Amino acid sequence: MTIADLHAHTTASDGTFTPRELVELAKRNRLQAVAVTDHDTMDGLSEARAAGKELGVEVIPGIELSTTLEGREVHVLGYFYDPDHQELRDLIAKMREDRLNRLDKMIVRLQQGGLAITKDEVLNEAKGAVGRPHIARVLMKKGYVSNIPEAFDKYLGSGKIGYVERLKVTPEMAVQLILQAGGSPVVAHPGLVGKDELFDKLVPLGLIGLEAFHPDHPSEKRAHYAKLAEHHGLLATGGSDFHGGGAEHRGDLGSVHVSYEVVEKLRQKAAYKGWN
């Protein structure tokens, strides 16, 4: 069976593999296709797709937009969108600016809390879109925490001393924008959100799928979300949410995957047909 991993990150956001290294790994792991779904950026796509053409791996254009619902993070994946869609590019630019502004504020709060950490240290850790995982890696290197979850639990999670709210983008806004850009929107790892009623709002807007198969979904959750997808007439997608090695390692690229048929359906449902 030909398989695809529909959720992977590179150094363009908080992954540790460059876009080319990710595609090389996909080749070694015998994936027919891999989606590059970096957080709030499409910067890694050109390098990844060039490597994919060279190595015979299909690189699916993707993105993972960060949104908020009632104080909880909700990530919305988008596939096969128009990369030149102006409103999408405008939102990405605003998100990039917001990430830098948040970083300044988080660094000040952490310093006021007695932690010796600087903006330059975090920016040196981040090769692309900067975020809390990069701060967490610096805190690990300095010995303040032993792993990424501890950094979020002690310093970076909601309500902690280093937390600063992000730009207000709702799941509804993200779904509508991906559709306007001709793409296929999918809710990422819904089991981490824990608000299934969200689908009652997003399905009428045109949501295409939900990520039923994810490393943080145990078998019963995978079955639950596959059934929920069927109930709503959505595609049940999946991927490893690969970030690379180290503290954020959930499993190897392709350790969670779907059949290539899901890729074909995502492409078919996308209004934009400019990818070749």
Write out pLDDT tens, residues 114-159: 999 999 999 988 877 788 989 999 999 999 999 888 999 999 998 8
Q: Are 43 and 12 in contact (CB under 8 A)?
A: yes
Q: Quick: pLDDT tens for 35-57.
A: 999 999 999 999 999 999 999 99
3-state secondary structure of 4: strand
In which band, very low, low, confident or very high, does the pLDDT at 166 lie, cut at 50, 70 and 90? confident
Q: Are 128 and 60 in contact (CB under 8 A)?
A: no
As beta bridge partners, residue 61 has: 36
Domain end (from 131, 156, 181): 156
As beta bridge partners, residue 185 has: 78
pTM: 0.90
3-state secondary structure of 238: strand
Amino acid 250: pLDDT? 72
CATH code: domain of residue 133:
1.10.150.650
In which band, very low, low, confident or very high, does the pLDDT at 71 lie, cut at 50, 70 and 90? confident
Domain end (from 110, 134, 156): 156
Look at residue 276 and tell me if it is in a domain.
no
Burial of 81 (0-12, 13-18, 19+ CB in 10 A): buried
Amino acid 56: pLDDT? 98
Q: Is the domain of 181 the same as that of 206?
A: yes
Q: Quick: pLDDT tens for 172-210.
A: 999 999 999 999 999 999 999 999 999 999 999 999 999
Distance CA(224)–CA(184), nearest Å, equals 22
Q: Is the domain of 79 the same as that of 96?
A: no
Q: Is the domain of 177 the same as that of 75?
A: yes
